Every structure is written in C-alpha cells, then in structure tokens.
C-alpha cells in the first residue's frame, strides 16, 4: 500500500511548483513512458497553471508534454522533478537531474537507491503505472482518458498481459479503474501486440540462436552484426527475450544484446527464481523475477550462466 503521508507530500509538492519535469529511465519501455505520460495528464487535469514536461526518449511520436526547446538551467532549478519507473539514479534519462529544485521518485523496483528527496515506492506493484493510478485514486484526482490509456499500456506490458507472477487482485482493480476512465482494451492490445512480419521473422531467427544449459538456463546472445540490416529498435531486438518464455524446460532465460554504442545489456527473466540476486552482481537489478544487468565483455556470459545454474541447483526458495 501507499503511505498516505507520502501521497499527500507529492500533492503538496506539485501544488508548490509551477514547473514540473517528469523523468523516465533510459531506453524507456511502456511502463516508463506510460507512467510519465499518465502522470503528466493527471497533473494537467487536476492542478492549474503548471508547465509540465516529459523528457527523454520516446517509444512513439506522441508529442504531448514534449519540451519545445531545451530546458534552461534556471527552469530546472525552479522545477519539481518527478522520476518514474527508475530504481537507480544512474538509469535516469535526464543528465541534469542534480540541478533540480526538488525531487520525487515514484517506482516499483526493489528500493536500492533512495536518490530523491521524497518517494513513493511500492515493490509489490506489478507496474509503476499501478503506483501512479493508486496514488491518484488515494488523492481523489481525476484520471483523464488519455492518461488512463497510457497507464493501461504500462500495466499490460509490465504484467506480461497479466501473466507474470506478481499480477494480483490490485492489478486487476487498477486495470478495471483505467478501463472505466477511458482506456480502450482492444486499441491498447492491438497497439502493443500486433507486430510487423519482420518482428516475427526476427523472433524466429533469434530463437534459432538459443542455447540451453543442463539446468534449464536459456540464453540468446545478439551482437551488432546479428541485427544489422533488420531495421529494429532496441525494444524490438529485445523481443528475442519473450521467445524463451512459457516452456517447462526453460526455467531462467536471458538475452545478451550488444548495443550500437558497444554497451552489453542483459535482460533476465524467470518464473520462480530470484534472478535479481544475480543481476546485482553484474551492475544491475530490478525485480525478483525480471531484472536487467550489463556486462563488461562477452567473456562474462559463462560466469553469468554458471551463477544462474547455481540458482536453479539451490532450489526455488533459494539457500
Ligand atoms: Mn516497470
């Protein structure tokens, strides 16, 4: 549950600032963007005379709350910066965060980095959009349809279509509320889950590269040359991850993706095992069964696989 005092603090801080900047994590997913846009729409609807901007990369061509020009340092110094869906400061998609007049973190990742002045962190929430919605409900704020649509997209994707283990009665209550507020179920589902043929072809190609350890740890390693010429963005390349889910034989699965800039990003998933405990060893973290990490070189893949094998050997409850 959200602590009412923290919920009120956020309202007070919004009231006290004319300028509001909403920050997501780098390489945003729909929970990050949905939380940011949803929150922006809620603030616009319920509080008068606010300049609200959502900064950083976007997943689509939604122009709402986009700064028309570069935000000045003076603007940032006078602003309340609200971060969404970002567990650690290093992952924020805003290089001037430290200039902010005031800061507030809204999140659902494991709370390892209390980087903001105040926060609402609900680790039990399946999506950050769930936290934003519950906050708005608790504070009796209106959720306009455009906000509900964005919030629903985050709920839908971070819960893996309501299949992931952390999906619970609250998730469905929040989904119901968002549909009542004007989120369009079919539109959202078609928008997220109907892909181009090239995405399915990519998934098939990527899955053909899957290797499986004898303990049921599957991985797909994707280098730059693998996706060269495919015309895919990072999230589409990462579509390879989902091809390994939903099979008895695979109990932990991960992708290793070489980014255009040479960074090596890992995404880890499991139905039952605490992959977060391994992710933290490799400059990462996130959730118990869904975490990210990064490697210094491809040589680290074998030790990563060994660590995950060990997790399986130790059993579901861990040792
Ligand atoms: Mn999230």
**CATH number assigned to the domain comprising residue 18:** 3.90.1640.10
Count of domains observed in the chain: 2
Say yes or no to pLDDT of 318 above 80.
Answer: no
319 found inside a domain: no
Domain span holding position 140: 4-192
Say yes or no to pLDDT of 52 above 60.
Answer: yes
Are residues 223 and 133 part of one domain? no
Are residues 182 and 297 part of one domain? no
> Ligand 1 centre from 298 Cα, in Å?
27
Instruction: Write out pLDDT tens, residues 241-294.
Output: 999 999 999 999 999 999 999 999 999 999 999 999 999 999 999 989 999 999
Last residue of a domain, one of 192, 219, 247: 192
Are residues 121 and 63 part of one domain? yes
CA distance 292 to 223: 17
> Ligand 1 centre from 4 Cα, in Å?
22
> Ligand 1 centre from 214 Cα, in Å?
31
Long-range CB contacts (< 8 A, 24+ apart) of 158-163? 158/29, 158/30, 158/31, 158/126, 158/127, 158/128, 158/129, 159/126, 159/127, 160/245, 161/193
Give the pLDDT of residue 83. 98
> Ligand 1 centre from 155 Cα, in Å?
8
Are residues 282 and 306 part of one domain? yes
CATH number assigned to the domain comprising residue 270:
3.10.310.30
> Ligand 1 centre from 281 Cα, in Å?
21
Are residues 119 and 38 part of one domain? yes
140 found inside a domain: yes
Are residues 111 and 24 part of one domain? yes
Give the pLDDT of residue 316. 79
Q: Decide if 164 contacts 269 (C-beta within 8 A).
A: no
200 Cβ partners below 8 Å, 6+ apart? none
Are residues 303 and 159 part of one domain? no
The mean pLDDT of 291-298, rounded to a whole number, is: 97
> In Å, what is the CA distance from 49 to each residue of 12, 52, 233?
15, 9, 37
Q: Which two tokens mark 2? A: 């959200």
> Ligand 1 centre from 57 Cα, in Å?
16
Last residue of a domain, one of 167, 192, 217: 192
> Ligand 1 centre from 32 Cα, in Å?
6
pLDDT-based confidence at 319, cuts 50/70/90? low
Please provide the average confidence, as pLDDT, over all residues in the chain.
Answer: 96
> Ligand 1 centre from 316 Cα, in Å?
23
Q: Decide if 43 contacts 50 (C-beta within 8 A).
A: yes
CA distance 254 to 300: 13
Are residues 10 and 145 part of one domain? yes
Instruction: Write out pLDDT tens, residues 116-168.
Output: 999 999 999 999 999 999 999 999 999 999 999 999 999 999 999 999 889 99
CA distance 92 to 87: 9
| Residue 212, helix vs strand vs coil | strand
Last residue of a domain, one of 140, 163, 192: 192
Are residues 216 and 100 part of one domain? no
> Ligand 1 centre from 44 Cα, in Å?
23
Say what percent of the chain tops pLDDT 90: 97
Say yes or no to pLDDT of 21 above 60.
Answer: yes
Instruction: Write out pLDDT tens, residues 59-74.
Output: 999 999 999 999 999 9
Strand partners, 21: 53, 81
Are residues 186 and 38 part of one domain? yes
Are residues 229 and 151 part of one domain? no
> Ligand 1 centre from 262 Cα, in Å?
25
Are residues 46 and 172 part of one domain? yes
């Amino acid at each position: 549950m959200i602590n009412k005092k923290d919920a009120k603090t956020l309202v007070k801080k919004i009231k006290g600032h004319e300028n509001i900047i909403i920050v997501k994590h780098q390489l945003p997913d729909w929970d990050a963007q949905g939380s940011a846009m949803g929150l922006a729409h809620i603030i616009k609807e319920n509080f008068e005379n606010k300049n609200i901007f959502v900064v950083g990369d976007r997943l689509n061509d939604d122009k709402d709350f986009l700064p028309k020009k570069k935000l000045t340092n003076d603007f940032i110094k006078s602003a309340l910066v609200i971060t969404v869906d970002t567990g650690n400061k290093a992952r924020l998609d805003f290089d001037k965060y430290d200039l902010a007049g005031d800061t507030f973190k809204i999140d659902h990742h494991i709370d390892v980095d209390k980087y903001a002045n105040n926060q609402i962190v609900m680790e039990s929430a399946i999506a950050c959009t769930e936290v934003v919605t519950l906050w708005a409900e608790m504070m009796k704020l209106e959720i306009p349809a455009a906000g509900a649509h964005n919030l629903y997209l985050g709920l839908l994707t971070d819960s893996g279509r309501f299949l992931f283990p952390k999906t619970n009665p609250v998730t469905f209550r929040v989904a119901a509320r968002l549909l009542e507020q004007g989120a369009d179920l079919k539109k959202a589902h078609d928008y997220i889950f109907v892909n181009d043929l090239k995405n399915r072809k990519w998934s098939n190609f990527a899955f053909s590269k899957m290797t499986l350890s004898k303990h049921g740890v599957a991985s797909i390693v994707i280098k730059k040359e693998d996706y060269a010429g495919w015309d895919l963005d990072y999230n589409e390349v990462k579509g390879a991850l989902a091809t390994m889910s939903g099979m008895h034989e695979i109990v932990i699965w991960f992708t290793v993706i070489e980014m255009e800039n040479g960074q090596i990003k890992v995404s880890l998933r499991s139905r039952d095992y605490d992959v977060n405990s391994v992710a933290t060893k490799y400059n990462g973290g996130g959730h118990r069964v869904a975490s990210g990490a990064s490697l210094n070189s491809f040589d680290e893949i074998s030790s990563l696989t060994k660590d995950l094998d060990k997790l399986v050997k130790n059993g579901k409850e861990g040792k």
